[in-house]
Protein backbone atom coordinates (compact mmCIF):
# COMPACT_ATOMS: atom_id res chain seq x y z
CA UNK A 1 0.00 0.00 0.00
CA UNK A 2 1.13 3.48 -0.88
CA UNK A 3 1.04 6.31 1.63
CA UNK A 4 -0.10 9.75 0.44
CA UNK A 5 1.55 12.34 2.62
CA UNK A 6 1.21 15.97 1.67
CA UNK A 7 -1.85 15.38 -0.47
CA UNK A 8 -4.94 17.26 0.77
CA UNK A 9 -5.68 20.43 2.70
CA UNK A 10 -4.50 21.43 6.13
CA UNK A 11 -6.88 22.50 8.86
CA UNK A 12 -5.68 26.11 8.57
CA UNK A 13 -6.41 26.20 4.84
CA UNK A 14 -9.92 24.86 5.40
CA UNK A 15 -10.58 27.41 8.15
CA UNK A 16 -9.42 30.27 5.91
CA UNK A 17 -11.79 29.15 3.15
CA UNK A 18 -14.70 28.89 5.62
CA UNK A 19 -14.00 32.41 6.96
CA UNK A 20 -13.93 33.84 3.42
CA UNK A 21 -17.23 32.14 2.57
CA UNK A 22 -18.78 33.48 5.79
CA UNK A 23 -17.69 37.05 4.98
CA UNK A 24 -19.10 36.82 1.45
CA UNK A 25 -22.37 35.38 2.77
CA UNK A 26 -22.79 38.17 5.31
CA UNK A 27 -22.28 40.81 2.60
CA UNK A 28 -24.72 39.17 0.23
CA UNK A 29 -27.40 38.76 2.90
CA UNK A 30 -27.41 42.49 3.71
CA UNK A 31 -27.68 43.35 0.00
CA UNK A 32 -30.49 40.84 -0.42
CA UNK A 33 -32.46 42.31 2.50
CA UNK A 34 -32.00 45.81 1.05
CA UNK A 35 -33.26 44.58 -2.33
CA UNK A 36 -36.22 42.89 -0.64
CA UNK A 37 -37.28 46.13 1.13
CA UNK A 38 -37.07 48.09 -2.14
CA UNK A 39 -39.14 45.40 -3.89
CA UNK A 40 -41.86 45.73 -1.23
CA UNK A 41 -42.06 49.47 -1.89
CA UNK A 42 -42.32 48.89 -5.65
CA UNK A 43 -44.94 46.15 -5.21
CA UNK A 44 -47.18 47.67 -2.54
CA UNK A 45 -46.61 51.41 -1.99
CA UNK A 46 -45.74 52.66 -5.47
CA UNK A 47 -48.92 51.43 -7.24
CA UNK A 48 -51.09 53.20 -4.66
CA UNK A 49 -49.20 56.48 -5.04
CA UNK A 50 -49.31 56.18 -8.82
CA UNK A 51 -53.05 55.44 -8.74
CA UNK A 52 -53.71 58.59 -6.74
CA UNK A 53 -51.64 60.69 -9.13
CA UNK A 54 -53.45 59.21 -12.14
CA UNK A 55 -56.75 60.18 -10.49
CA UNK A 56 -55.49 63.76 -9.99
CA UNK A 57 -54.38 63.99 -13.64
CA UNK A 58 -57.73 62.60 -14.84
CA UNK A 59 -59.61 65.03 -12.60
CA UNK A 60 -57.68 67.99 -14.01
CA UNK A 61 -58.25 66.93 -17.61
CA UNK A 62 -62.01 67.01 -17.09
CA UNK A 63 -62.15 69.89 -14.55
CA UNK A 64 -59.79 72.51 -15.95
CA UNK A 65 -59.07 75.48 -13.69
CA UNK A 66 -60.72 73.94 -10.62
CA UNK A 67 -59.08 73.07 -7.30
CA UNK A 68 -58.28 69.39 -6.78
CA UNK A 69 -60.77 67.75 -4.42
CA UNK A 70 -58.87 64.76 -3.01
CA UNK A 71 -61.86 63.38 -1.09
CA UNK A 72 -63.76 62.88 -4.36
CA UNK A 73 -60.95 60.83 -5.92
CA UNK A 74 -61.17 57.10 -5.24
CA UNK A 75 -57.42 56.42 -4.99
CA UNK A 76 -56.65 59.55 -2.93
CA UNK A 77 -59.53 59.37 -0.46
CA UNK A 78 -57.65 57.51 2.28
CA UNK A 79 -54.17 58.36 3.54
CA UNK A 80 -53.66 54.96 5.18
CA UNK A 81 -54.41 51.88 3.10
CA UNK A 82 -54.04 48.30 4.41
CA UNK A 83 -52.15 45.82 2.20
CA UNK A 84 -50.78 42.29 2.62
CA UNK A 85 -47.34 43.69 3.48
CA UNK A 86 -48.62 46.27 5.98
CA UNK A 87 -50.25 49.68 5.90
CA UNK A 88 -49.30 52.08 3.11
CA UNK A 89 -49.35 55.76 4.08
CA UNK A 90 -49.88 58.39 1.37
CA UNK A 91 -48.47 61.87 1.92
CA UNK A 92 -50.23 63.99 -0.71
CA UNK A 93 -49.06 67.53 -1.41
CA UNK A 94 -50.93 69.40 -4.14
CA UNK A 95 -50.72 73.18 -4.37
CA UNK A 96 -53.04 75.25 -6.51
CA UNK A 97 -55.72 74.57 -9.09
CA UNK A 98 -55.74 72.51 -12.25
CA UNK A 99 -54.39 74.54 -15.14
CA UNK A 100 -56.48 75.84 -18.01
CA UNK A 101 -54.82 73.22 -20.25
CA UNK A 102 -55.96 70.41 -17.95
CA UNK A 103 -52.65 69.78 -16.19
CA UNK A 104 -52.56 69.12 -12.45
CA UNK A 105 -51.01 71.65 -10.11
CA UNK A 106 -47.49 71.06 -8.87
CA UNK A 107 -47.11 68.55 -6.11
CA UNK A 108 -46.07 65.06 -5.21
CA UNK A 109 -47.34 61.90 -3.59
CA UNK A 110 -45.05 60.02 -1.26
CA UNK A 111 -46.09 56.47 -0.38
CA UNK A 112 -44.41 54.68 2.49
CA UNK A 113 -44.90 51.13 3.73
CA UNK A 114 -45.13 50.18 7.37
CA UNK A 115 -42.07 48.17 8.38
CA UNK A 116 -39.82 49.66 5.66
CA UNK A 117 -38.39 52.81 7.26
CA UNK A 118 -35.46 53.35 4.88
CA UNK A 119 -37.29 53.60 1.50
CA UNK A 120 -40.41 55.27 0.08
CA UNK A 121 -41.99 55.91 -3.31
CA UNK A 122 -42.27 59.43 -4.66
CA UNK A 123 -44.58 60.21 -7.60
CA UNK A 124 -45.00 63.50 -9.44
CA UNK A 125 -46.45 64.89 -12.64
CA UNK A 126 -44.29 66.34 -15.41
CA UNK A 127 -45.01 67.71 -18.85
CA UNK A 128 -47.58 69.78 -20.65
CA UNK A 129 -50.91 69.01 -22.31
CA UNK A 130 -49.18 67.38 -25.31
CA UNK A 131 -46.86 65.14 -23.29
CA UNK A 132 -48.09 64.19 -19.82
CA UNK A 133 -45.76 62.04 -17.78
CA UNK A 134 -46.11 60.49 -14.34
CA UNK A 135 -42.82 59.63 -12.70
CA UNK A 136 -42.50 57.40 -9.66
CA UNK A 137 -39.18 56.51 -8.10
CA UNK A 138 -38.05 54.69 -4.99
CA UNK A 139 -36.03 56.96 -2.74
CA UNK A 140 -34.03 56.30 0.38
CA UNK A 141 -34.52 58.28 3.56
* pLDDT given for residue 58 in this prediction: 92
Angle at 51 between CA 34 and CA 141, to 5 degrees: 30
For the stretch 70-122, pLDDT in tens is 989 999 999 999 999 999 999 999 988 999 888 899 899 999 999 999 999 99
pLDDT band at 132 (very low <50, low <70, confident <90, very high): confident
pLDDT band at 138 (very low <50, low <70, confident <90, very high): very high
Which strands, in side-by-side order, build the sheet including 106-113? 80-83, 86-95, 106-113, 119-128, 131-140
pLDDT band at 1 (very low <50, low <70, confident <90, very high): low
pLDDT at residue 67 greater than cutoff 70: yes
Over range 31-44, report the average pLDDT. 96
Distances (CA, A) of 94 to 40, 63, 76, 124: 26, 15, 11, 10
pLDDT at residue 20 greater than cutoff 90: yes
Amino acid sequence: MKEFRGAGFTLIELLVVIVIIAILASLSITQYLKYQRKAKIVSYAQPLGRGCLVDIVSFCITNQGEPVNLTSLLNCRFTTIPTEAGNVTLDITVSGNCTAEGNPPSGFINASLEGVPDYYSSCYFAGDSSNRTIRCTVKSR
